């Protein structure tokens, strides 16, 4: 399975990605997670990205593309991968196509999770994440067993810095301006799998699996 998961901020890409990668035993490549890890470790890349991410803007294409190229060349990607949050511009999609061409492989599907702005804002603002293992929760829709504490390792949950209302609004606008054109791009290639993201987490996953295995 060579997959891309596409959708606006807070649509549920990461949540579904966690289940999809387990089912198909493929690596989860989230450019957002890679950047956050670099910020945490105070690397050069992290320093370059932070300003863009804090404002809800996209990191420049050239930085992103080389990171993904490098990641796709690793041996664990040989039997497939799930790209989450990449590509995000037509330029990134064209670069990805060129890279896959060079590798002699093609994408199988692009999963597109859709939801309205009101839902996206509520999901992003209520999201809490584990700083140690990255597990994602929601204060209303996906609560941990103990409030504020990760089920998996007991760490104190935190809020992502870009999950404040104003930045979420910017991220949604950036998605509309720069990422939405990818729906036509992948639609024209016959790869798009549109999924109604307003359903429950489990219902969305069931639908994705059903469609992928059709």
Residue positions annotated with a catalytic role: 13, 88, 127, 160, 171
Name the residue whose CB lies closest to ligand AP5.
32
Rounded least distance, CB 13 to Mg ion, Å: 5
14 contributes a contact to ligand AP5 by CB under 6 A: yes
Residue numbers 97-156 binding ligand AP5 by CB under 6 A: 123-124, 126-127, 136-138, 141-142
Residue numbers 179-198 binding ligand AP5 by CB under 6 A: none
14 contributes a contact to Mg ion by CB under 5 A: yes
Residue numbers 17-46 binding Mg ion by CB under 5 A: none
Cα–Cα distance for residue pair 154/109, rounded to 1 Å: 36
Rounded least distance, CB 187 to ligand AP5, Å: 19
Between 65 and 104, CB nearer to ligand AP5: 65
The two tokens of residue 128 are 């809490």
Rounded least distance, CB 188 to Mg ion, Å: 26
- Using CB under 6 A, which of the segments 6-14, 71-79, 98-106, 180-188 binds ligand AP5? 6-14
DSSP the chain: -EEEEE-STTSSHHHHHHHHHHHHT--EEEHHHHHHHHHHTT-HHHHHHHHHHHHTPPPPHHHHHHHHHHHHTSGGGTT-EEEES---SHHHHHHHHHHHHHHT----EEEEEE--HHHHHHHHHTEEE-TTT--EEETTTB--SSTTB-TTT-PBPB--TT-SHHHHHHHHHHIIIIITHHHHHHHHTT-EEEEETTS-HHHHHHHHHHHHT-
List contacts with ligand AP5 (CB under 6 A). Answer: 7, 9-15, 31-32, 35, 52-53, 56-59, 64, 85-86, 88, 92, 123-124, 126-127, 136-138, 141-142, 162, 171, 200-201, 204
List contacts with Mg ion (CB under 5 A). Answer: 13-14
């Amino acid at each position: 399975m060579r997959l891309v998961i596409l959708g606006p901020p807070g649509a549920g890409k990461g949540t579904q990605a966690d289940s999809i990668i387990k089912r198909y035993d493929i690596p989860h490549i989230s450019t957002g997670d890679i950047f956050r890890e670099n910020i945490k470790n105070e690397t050069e890349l992290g320093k370059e990205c932070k300003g863009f991410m804090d404002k809800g803007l996209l990191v420049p294409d050239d930085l992103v593309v080389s990171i993904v190229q490098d990641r796709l060349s690793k041996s664990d990607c040989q039997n497939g991968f799930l790209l989450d949050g990449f590509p995000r511009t037509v330029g990134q999609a064209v670069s990805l196509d060129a890279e896959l061409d060079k590798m002699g492989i093609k994408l199988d599907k692009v999963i597109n999770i859709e939801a309205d702005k009101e839902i996206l804002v509520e999901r992003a603002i209520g999201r809490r994440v584990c700083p140690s293992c990255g597990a994602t929760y929601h204060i209303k829709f996906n609560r941990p067993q103990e409030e504020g504490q990760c089920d998996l390792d007991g760490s104190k949950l935190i809020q992502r810095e870009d999950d404040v209302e104003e930045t979420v609004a910017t991220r949604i606008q950036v998605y509309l301006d720069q990422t939405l054109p990818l729906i036509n791009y992948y639609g024209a290639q016959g790869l798009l799998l549109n999924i109604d993201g307003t359903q429950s987490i489990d219902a969305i996953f069931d639908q994705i699996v059903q469609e992928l295995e059709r």
